[in-house]
Amino acid sequence: MTGEREMLSLRETAKVLGLSERSVWTAIKAGRIPSTRIGKRVLIPRRLLLERLEAEARAAMQASNDEGAGR
């Protein structure tokens, strides 16, 4: 184990992503950031967040490559 927590708070997620807490909350509500609620706390699974970001980055790169190939 690397010592990193498996679950991030909204504030920690915002800091990791370089976004405001409001932007993170909006992305959670839109389903773009995976989360779970325990009581009143919203927690973001670190592994799922990183996997989602990697998948979106791959999709964006693929779309960019496809667009460039059509020129």
- pLDDT profile of the chain (71 residues), mean per 10: 83 96 97 94 96 92 82 56
Task: Walk me through the domains of the chain, giving residue ranges and CATH numbers.
Answer: 7-69 (1.10.10)
* pLDDT at residue 39 in the model: 96
Q: HEC states along 4-61?
A: CCCEEEHHHHHHHHCCCHHHHHHHHHCCCCCCEEECCEEEEEHHHHHHHHHHHHHHHH
* pLDDT at residue 33 in the model: 94
CA distances in angstroms from 8 to 13, 21, 37, 44, 70, listed in the order given? 6, 12, 12, 5, 41
* pLDDT at residue 64 in the model: 86
* pLDDT at residue 68 in the model: 76
* pLDDT at residue 70 in the model: 63
